[in-house]
Amino acid sequence: MSIYSIHALPDERGYFGDYGGRFVPETLMPSLLELEAFYARLKSDESFQEELNYYLNDYVGRPSPLYFASRLTASLGGARIYLKREDLNHTGSHKINNTLGQGLLAKRMGKRRIIAETGAGQHGVATATAAALLEFDCEIYMGEEDILRQGLNVKRMELLGAKVNPVYSGGRTLKDAMNEAIRDWVTNVDSTYYLLGSVGGPHPYPMMVRDFQSIIGRETRQQIIEAEGRLPDYIVACVGGGSNAMGIFYPFLNDGGVKLIGVEAAGRGLQSDKHAATLNCGRPGTLHGSYSLVLQNGEGQIQNAYSIAAGLDYPGVGPEHSYLLKSGRVTYTTAHDDDALEAFYQLSRVEGIIPALESAHALAEVIRLAPALSREAVMVVNLSGRGDKDVDSV
Amino acid sequence: MSRIRERFKVLTGRGEKALVAYITGGYPSLEVAGQMVLGLAECGADIIEIGVPFSDPIADGPVIQTASYQALQGGVTVAGILEMVQRVRQQSSIPLVLMSYYNPILQMGLQEFCYQAARSGVDGLIVPELPREESLPLLQAAEQAAIDVVPLVAPTSNRERIAAICARARGFVYCVSVTGITGEREEINTDLASLTDTIRKCTDLPLVIGFGVGNANTARNLAPLCDGVVVGSALMRLIIGDSFDRAGELVREIKSAINRQ
């Protein structure tokens, strides 16, 4: 089948092939159905799209540049490398594309309070920003371990008026923060909008977050045609939950000539239990509202993931990625902590751009691939965030 | 007739309400948990709900989270819990209902899980994050194994949903008293009269109210609306504090409070 008959996915039950669905307590179901219907109406509402575009242009600074990294290209001696500069967005990552979209939606739904989970703090900061701008009360759940390693973002969220709730359960990272956010949501479902940050969770979140993030891919498509007169040969993006990857991949899914590569965190190695390579090592299961690949033991207990990059440190992945893996449309590789660190330093010194450790995983794959490719080959890497937040952990 | 239906029939005949006592399977150990099932039955519990510990219990409050975490740290497995059920079943005919999140069931395989559970003496199954839209495969597997899948109805469920949920219900209907997670509450503000009324119009099955029922007083107030109540976190809080005797007393108090209507 043409892969984007995929553009018809998810189906009406929220499935991408075998993956997706809604695995949540009954208490949340009416609210999810309402959200689905509300979003379906907004999608074709011109005034909503205009309002969102206004903020994306004048507040976020879109379109983000597609920068030809000539020095990195020269130093690797192979493919021509372009960086999609989501790090230049207001708040410093791609997360703001989604939080403004969902924030404006929540406003129209009449919600007054928004909550979110965060790992690296990028989604938390972007949510707190949307909350300040759109006048919501805002609470962010963040694992204690992540609070320790992403202190700058905690401070930013507090400055923006959000309350940051530390989570002490489990491995005290993103998975545990998400558990706690869901518990808050199920308790305060009438007043509260859950602003999920990745392409995971129950339907319609994976679809909605993908749609809001696909601005990245739509711009990239136009920009690369302007720069090169053709589509790229490769698009590379890091995958934790998978929102920046889904956003840049989605508008290219039907372009069979464009190789799409997602890069997961191999942490300290796939043979160790210290990694976050869900698509490479996981098995199908349910976590946080959807059926997708999951890192788990034989008993179905979810494992704690690990990555030097807090934003990739998650044992689940968005269901559409599981589908794209199975269909063969996207290849998912991995990069170790050390590879990511090396890429982090290399881009900083060669191009004067400090990438987020998450995005550095995608760069590591580019550094590995590019030298072997011809000088005519074109690669785009999604530079999903900037690395200021990581200066204390490298 | 299933042990669950039979128990409700007997209780109805006596003019009594059911006390469903929840414990986390494998806390503090499988052996002690097994003894507790028998002990709570002696104290007056009519049905025991045994929680299968899960790493990410999104529907549970801090008390059951703690018990689940400790049980998993102690190496509890689904097979271990089913062996415990089997031992209990040799000594008691009390209806036993497993409360499990969906993933451990999925990983064993729906049919295998239901078959093994039934063989061990499990009568019913509650899956807190499996809404009716996703429940058909499990309902089919459970029906083959003659296990009752007890659905949850929430304060947010509308009449249409309640009707659809009740149409596939077996054993009893579990009415969640509040929007939220498990745990004791000072008071319950939900309009339960209207919610239980809607459920009654959709099914003749027994109606049990749970979430937030932690003492005799709350239970007494709820009793006129239902055929039984679930007490979970309050019991587990006592068990975690090693107050086993006090846990038994709580069961006696609540049972006596709901019967004196």
Q: Does A31 touch chain B (CB under 8 A)?
A: yes
Does ipTM surpass 0.95 in this model? Answer: yes
Is B242 tagged catalytic?
A: no
Does the beta-carbon distance from A26 to B176 stay under 8 Å?
yes
Asked if A203 contacts A32 with a C-beta cutoff of 8 angstroms, the reply is yes
Q: Which of B16, B49, B148, B184 is catalytic?
A: B49
The whole-angstrom separation of Cα B3 and Cα B6 is: 5
CB contact under 8 A, A286 and B151: no
Tell me phi and psi for residue A381, to 5 degrees. Answer: -115, 135
Tell me the residue ranges of DSSP E strands in chain A: 15-16, 19-20, 66-68, 80-85, 113-118, 137-143, 163-167, 192-194, 234-238, 259-267, 283-287, 290-294, 330-336, 378-383
Q: Does A44 touch chain B (CB under 8 A)?
A: no
Chain B interface, mutation test: which of A186, A188, A290, A293, most B Cβ atoms within 10 Å? Answer: A186
pLDDT at A7: 67
B60 among known catalytic residues? yes
Q: Tell me the count of A-B CB pairs closer than 8 A.
A: 118
Please indicate, yes or no, whether the overall pTM of this predicted structure exceeds 0.80: yes
Any chain B CB within 8 A of the CB of A73? no
Percent of chain B whose pLDDT exceeds 90: 95
Please report the domains of chain B, with CATH numbers, ordered by start residue: 3-149+217-256 (3.20.20.70)
**Residues of A annotated as part of the active site:** 95, 117, 384
Interface test with B, best of A173, A299, A303 (most B CBs within 10 A): A299
Beta strands in B3-161 (DSSP E): 18-24, 47-51, 96-99, 124-126, 148-149, 152-153
- Mean pLDDT of the B75-96 span: 98
Mind listing the pLDDT tens digit of every residue in chain A (394 residues)?
Answer: 445 565 689 999 999 999 999 999 999 999 999 999 999 999 999 999 999 999 999 999 999 999 999 999 999 999 999 999 999 999 999 999 999 999 999 999 999 999 999 998 999 999 999 999 999 999 999 999 999 988 999 999 999 999 999 999 888 999 999 999 999 999 999 999 999 999 999 999 999 999 999 999 999 999 999 999 999 999 999 999 999 999 999 999 999 999 999 999 999 999 999 999 999 999 999 999 999 999 999 999 999 999 999 999 999 999 999 999 999 999 999 999 999 999 999 999 999 999 999 999 999 999 999 999 999 999 999 999 999 999 988 8
For residue B64, CA distances in Å to A175, A183, B184 come to 18, 13, 11
Instruction: Write down the pLDDT at residue A133.
Output: 98
Contact: A287, B56; criterion CB under 8 Å: yes
Residue (of A237, A235, A233) closest to A257 by Cα position: A233
Q: Which helix (H) or strand (E) holds A29?
A: helix A29-43
Q: Do the chains contact at A29 and B78, CB–CB below 8 Å?
A: no
Inter-chain touch B56–A175, beta carbons under 8 Å: yes
pLDDT at A171: 85
How far B161 CA sits from the closest chain A CA (Å)?
9
pLDDT of residue A2: 46
B165 to A26: CB separation less than 8 angstroms, yes or no = yes
